[in-house]
Amino acid sequence: MEKVITRKQFLHNTAKYAAGISAGVAGFGLISRTNASPLVEPVPLPWGYEELDVEEARKLGHQGYWSGLGCSYGAFHAIIKLLKDKVGEPYTLLPTEFLEWGRGGGWGWGTLCGALTGALTAMNICLAKATASKLGNELTGWYTQTEFPSDISNQYAEDEEFYDNRYTDTILQTVCGSPLCHISVSTWLSLPYKKLNTVERSERCARLTGDVAAYAVQIMNDELNEAFTPIYTPPETVGYCMTCHGSEAMDDTIGKMECTQCHGDHTAVSVGKENGFAPTYKLNQNFPNPFNPKTTIQFSIPQTAAVYLAVYDIHGRLVKNLVDLKDYDVGSHTVVWDGTNNYGQKVSSGTYFYRLQAGEFTESKRMLLVK
């Protein structure tokens, strides 16, 4: 566990805070300054963590949602409120309302689930960077694979054990595969007869808020007790897609979200097999490029066609026939060039062109063989 700020340090910092706050608040809510010296010294992060009650966090998260400030505030407040009670300063000086913006995935934009925003922010205040990032990764991944609301939350509601018992029916559970508010809420709304602006849907998010706060507290407790073991395993497709698109290779995207939730798997089809659909003819840049000893060329055709694909040198001389007027089905296809010519000899390093002819379509691209 990271170094926890001692009570003495807390008290020391509190005295400075108190001095700053009593200096008054200006019209726009900014602390007014009469001279150049800062009124307060920031208390450096992390502020430390002490073991908290998981079930209390669940109930406070649920209640916080219904306070009118929403999911992001709810999850943040649940954790920080418990730390205010248990640890005191500097947590007591933190106005938890500033997390309200995260509701609905950021003022209704449906991006990161607000409950995650709240809990991840709390973690970032309590824990040193490496721990916050490790546990934050776990919390986010766990979220994508968890049924919400949890059985525990449904049970609390039924037994009227929440602090706010306005809706006590069991709520159907969904797993959404994504950390996005839009996908989480829409997946649940795709159940029969569900609508967004209903008490039932709000209660679903209130229970989820409690569940997220509770799991955040649970893994922080585990970490504190040196008992943390991640349960999240990323979907296989992410690792697979990132072997080409990640920083080791093409380096052209960022993310850990399940790729196939939004993109098709364009590699599912190899030479000659049908992919079902391709909107237009397309010849993609070879991968990797520059390359040695071999490279992959990918192309798509929107209708069955006789395909001719060949490699030329910079003088336009034919080097290798890769596909020699063969019929291909609709979809995307890949062909590998191993850097040899039509006589099976290794060609020298330098610039080459590959040219696709399919139906009426012709296109060439350049590639670089390096030694």
| Residues at the site binding ligand HEC, with contacts judged by CB under 6 A | 237-238, 240-245, 252-253, 255, 257-263, 265-267, 284-285, 287, 296, 298
**Cβ neighbours of 290 (radius 10 Å):** 12
Distance from chain centroid for Cα 103? 17
Residues contacting 120, CB < 8 A, separation 6+: 132, 136, 139, 140, 216
3-state DSSP call for residue 162?
coil
Rounded to a whole number of angstroms, the minimum distance from the CB of residue 112 to ligand HEC is 11
Rounded to a whole number of angstroms, the minimum distance from the CB of residue 334 to ligand HEC is 8
* Nearer CB in complex with ligand HEC: 76/354: 354
* Nearer CB in complex with ligand HEC: 169/265: 265
* Nearer CB in complex with ligand HEC: 205/241: 241
Rounded to a whole number of angstroms, the minimum distance from the CB of residue 297 to ligand HEC is 8
* Nearer CB in complex with ligand HEC: 105/136: 105
* Nearer CB in complex with ligand HEC: 243/342: 243
The Cα–Cα gap between 186 and 170 comes to 19
Q: Which two tokens stand for residue 217?
A: 């507290």
Complete edge-to-edge strand list for the sheet that includes strand 282-283: 282-283, 295-301, 331-337
Q: Which two tokens stand for residue 89?
A: 């300063």
Phi and psi torsions of 300, nearest 5°: -125, 145
Rounded to a whole number of angstroms, the minimum distance from the CB of residue 61 to ligand HEC is 25
The answer to whether the CB of 307 falls within 8 A of the CB of 357 is yes
Rounded to a whole number of angstroms, the minimum distance from the CB of residue 335 to ligand HEC is 12
Rounded to a whole number of angstroms, the minimum distance from the CB of residue 351 to ligand HEC is 18
Rounded to a whole number of angstroms, the minimum distance from the CB of residue 237 to ligand HEC is 5
Q: What is the DSSP letter of 335?
A: E
Rounded to a whole number of angstroms, the minimum distance from the CB of residue 289 to ligand HEC is 9
> Helix 199-224 and helix 181-189: axis angle, to 10°?
130
3-state DSSP call for residue 181?
helix
What CA dihedral angle connects 287, 291, 292 and 297, to 10 degrees? 30
Rounded to a whole number of angstroms, the minimum distance from the CB of residue 105 to ligand HEC is 12
* Nearer CB in complex with ligand HEC: 38/239: 239
3-state DSSP call for residue 188?
helix
> DSSP string spanning 60-129?
HHHHHIIIIIHHHHHHHHHHHHHHHHHT-TTGGG--GGGGGGGHHHHTT---B-HHHHHHHHHHHHHS-H
* Nearer CB in complex with ligand HEC: 84/256: 256
* Nearer CB in complex with ligand HEC: 260/357: 260
* Nearer CB in complex with ligand HEC: 14/284: 284
The answer to whether the CB of 112 falls within 8 A of the CB of 181 is yes
